[in-house]
Structure 1
Amino acid sequence: MTLPPARPPRSTSLTGPVWLTVSGVVVLLVALGVGIGVVVLLVRTASSGVLTMDGHVGSGVIAEVDAPGTGTVELEAGERYALHLVTPGYGDDADLLGDVELTSPSGDTVDVDGSPAVHMETTMGSWHAESVAAFIAPEDGVYDITVPSADVDDARVLVAPDQAFAPFFAGIFGSVLGVFVAIGLGMLGLGLTIGGIIWWVFRSRARREATA
């Protein structure tokens, strides 16, 4: 009489479960890192540098003029600049009641009716900023700027370098792609971690039964 072959002993090694669980945790940490990077990239891309989080003038602003009001601003030849109308509250319907006048150091009038490469609209604190015009400085030097009245009180115009479209688009596209990468890595890491823990539980149970 031939006896059936004996069943091989159940493996009690925890090496596989430990490696699987650790791998899952590492992937989750990578996903978290990617997510943080996406948030930082998105904030940097979306931030116009015109207003700070509390509504004050941002670091990208080179001149501030009340509406109505006059002022001066130093510009570089060939550089493109944008004008941002800042109004209290959300100010979605606010507008200037005329054209901004800009005079070059040599006395020539500069057209400021161009469209910004990237239309920015931001609400920070109790202030709303929206890009309304753009221009290219024809020469280096100090320019005179005259801002008309706005159809709301306490309005002002900020002058800042215009954002280039290509880096802005690359930042937005990279942020969207990073979101999908972070989600994919998170799901993979979660699956590996859960699978490793379940496997770990079964191996630990087998080990206890083997030593009972």
Structure 2
Amino acid sequence: MTTSAPAPGPRSPAGPGPGRGQVAPDGRPVSTRAPRVLTFAGVALCLVALALTALAARSFGGLLPLDLLDAEGGPGTAVVGVVPAPGSVPVELEGGADYDLFVAHDHGGADLAVELEGDITVRAPDGTAVDVRDHAEVDQHLGRGDTQVDTVGSFRAARSGTYTVKAPSTADGSTASVLIAPEQHLMPFVGGIFGTVLGLLGAVFVGIVGACMTIGGALWWRSRARTQAAQGAPRAAP
């Protein structure tokens, strides 16, 4: 008498095999909560990196003397006085403040500074001569439109009042003018440069971390979603 072998039973859906997902150790379906959190956190860090980049760019833009000249090359909003060379002009200045002196001229396509025949002189409201330095804490050289501006000196207004600024003619007889603007101090300028550099480095670091988290989280999320589909179970509640 022969007996037939029992027919094999159905394979467990949780058993190993191609395309089969895995369940958690306690038998519950896997959740996509962790990869979603990782992905959205990475996106948030990328947005923070963009904000840091914008702040760094704005900080750097504030260091540039963009307000010395307007878009057409005329005196900008920072200029408190314009003196033709040669000529003299009374200028109202605030006491206890430092001012820079610039020579503005038509560059004619050449990046060359214009020399003055003599020194710029400044007289205080009481008529006394003011010491004019032949340099500034931050020397500036820029051009906009057809106008070029170069730092030629600086001075300090001891008290508020009307100061008389006198400019000599140019050495080559060309047309020029002397611009007077509040002085840009060295330490805030250097601090702004370092702040901008650190801001950009921070933006790069945060951006790299955010991108890695976003990509890794998205891949993890996709893997978990495939595992859930392979289990044939409803997605776990977040």
Q: Which residue of 2 aligns with 1:16?
A: 34
User: After the TM superposition, which parts of structure 1 deviate over 6 Å for at least 4 consecutive aligned residues?
Assistant: none
Give the number of the structure whose residues are more often helix, by fraction.
Answer: 1
Residues 133-212 of structure 1 correspond to what in structure 2 (within 5 A)? 133-150=153-170, 151=172, 153-211=174-232
Q: Which residue of 2 aligns with 1:61?
A: 79
Distance 2:182 2:140 in 1: 12
Residues 108-147 of structure 1 correspond to what in structure 2 (within 5 A)? 108-147=128-167
Over the aligned positions, Cα root-mean-square deviation in angstroms equals 2.2
Structure 1 position 152, deviation (Å): 6.8
Distance 1:159 1:146 in 2: 11
Q: Which residue of 1 aligns with 2:12?
A: none
Q: Which residue of 2 aligns with 1:32?
A: 50
TM normalised by structure 2 equals: 0.78
Distance 1:161 1:176 in 2: 25
SS across alignment from 2:133 = coil
Q: Which moved more, 1:174-183 or 1:126-135?
A: 126-135
Unaligned 5+ runs, structure 1: 1-5
Structure 1 position 17, deviation (Å): 1.3
- Percent identity (aligned): 34
SS across alignment from 1:188 = helix
Amino acid at match of 2:23: P
Alignment equivalent of 1:105, drawn from 112, 116, 125: 125
Distance 1:135 1:101 in 2: 10
* Residue 80 (str. 1) matches residue 98 (str. 2): yes
Q: 1:28·1:186 contact (CA, 8 Å) conserved in 2?
A: yes
- Judged with a 3 Å threshold, the aligned counterparts in structure 2 of structure 1 residues 164 and 45 are, in CA distance, closer, same or farther, namely same
Distance 2:52 2:232 in 1: 44
Structure 1 position 138, deviation (Å): 3.6
Distance 1:106 1:169 in 2: 36
- Cα-to-partner distance string for 1:108-161 (whole Å, 9 max, x where unaligned): 222323421111222223322221101112443212222122247342111011
Q: 1:87·1:152 contact (CA, 8 Å) conserved in 2?
A: no
Bigger Cα Rg: 2
Distance 2:207 2:78 in 1: 36
Distance 1:99 1:40 in 2: 37
Structure 1 position 166, deviation (Å): 1.8
The count of aligned residue pairs is: 207
Structure 1 position 27, deviation (Å): 0.2
Distance 1:211 1:35 in 2: 45
- Judged with a 3 Å threshold, the aligned counterparts in structure 2 of structure 1 residues 48 and 136 are, in CA distance, closer, same or farther, namely farther
TM normalised by structure 1 equals: 0.87
Unaligned 5+ runs, structure 2: 1-14, 17-21, 234-238
Amino acid at match of 1:93: A
- Cα-to-partner distance string for 1:10-38 (whole Å, 9 max, x where unaligned): 66421111111100000000011111000
Distance 2:68 2:118 in 1: 22
SS across alignment from 2:179 = strand
